[in-house]
Structure 1
C-alpha cells in the first residue's frame, strides 16, 4: 500500500485545507484515486478532524467515497515547518485511499510507532522516503 513514490518529505502548506489538497494530489499522481476524492477528504475533515496525535494526521475520505478509490494506497507527506490542524501542529500526514480494510494493519503499525516517543520523533524527522516506508513496513511485518 505504501511505496516510496507516494512519500514526500519536504512539503509546505499554510493550512490544513492546503495540506489535504497536497495529500489528494499525491494520491492522484500515484493513480490511487479519482480527482473527486479530494472533496471527500475535505468532507471527512469537516465531519471530524483527522488529527491522530504526536504531530500526525490521517486525511481520508468518507465511507461513501470508496467508489472513488481506484486502488488501496497510502501517501505520506512530511511538512517540516508544520501545519496548524485545528489547534494542533501536524508535521506528517498519512493520506489513506482504501476500498476495503486493507489499510487497517498499516494504521495499527502507525499507532504502534506513535505510542513510542522515540519512534514517533524518528517518523516526524525522517528526511528520505525509504526510511519512512521501512519504518511502517517493518512494524507491519511486511518486507
Structure 2
C-alpha cells in the first residue's frame, strides 16, 4: 500500500444506515478490483459479529477472517460522511464521520487496521479528514497508506 488512489476517496456522502455505509465501502473495493462481491457480505457480517466502529468518529468496515479468500489485492477507501452515520446498536450512539473500507492480503489486513487506528487515535487527524474539502487534503494528511 504505497499511495491512496483519489478514486478511492469519496467526499460528502450520506447514508441512511450503517449497513448502507458498509455496503458502499465494499462496493468501492469491488470496483477497484481489490475484492469480489462476496467480500461485501462478509463486511456486513463482520459488523454484526463485532462493531467496526473504532471510536473518535471513525469506522473501519472490513470482512471476516473467513472472507480472506475473496480478497484479490490489498486496498483501502476513505469515505467522508459530514452528517455522520450511526454505528451504534440502538442502545448507544456511535457516530462515524470518516469510514475506512479495507481489504488486505495476508498480514496487510491487520497492519491496515493498526495504522488507521493509530493515526485516528489523534482526534485532530480525524477532524482534518472530516473537514477536508478536496481529495488532495485527505491524501496530503493521511499518513497510513
* TM bin (shorter chain): 0.7 to 0.9
Q: Tell me which residue corresponds to 2:103.
A: 97
How many residue pairs get aligned? The number is 139
Which piece of structure 1 moves more, 116-125 or 47-56? 116-125
Distance 1:48 1:84 in 2: 15
TM-score, structure 1 as length reference: 0.88
The one of 103, 114, 120 equivalent to 1:114 is 120
The one of 58, 70, 85 equivalent to 2:87 is 85
For the 8 Å contact 2:14–2:82, the answer to whether it is kept is yes
SS at match of 1:36: helix
Unaligned 5+ residue runs, structure 1?
none
Q: Tell me which residue corresponds to 2:50.
A: 48
Q: Tell me which residue corresponds to 2:66.
A: 64
Distance 1:60 1:9 in 2: 20
Q: Extract structure 1 runs of 4+ deviating beyond 3 A.
A: 103-109
Query: Is the aligned partner of 1:36 residue 2:42?
Result: no
The one of 7, 14, 22 equivalent to 1:20 is 22
Distance 1:121 1:107 in 2: 19
Q: Root-mean-square deviation (CA), in Å?
A: 1.7
TM-score, structure 2 as length reference: 0.87
How far has the Cα of 1:30 moved from its partner? 1.1
Distance 1:57 1:67 in 2: 23
SS at match of 2:27: helix
How far has the Cα of 1:41 moved from its partner? 0.3
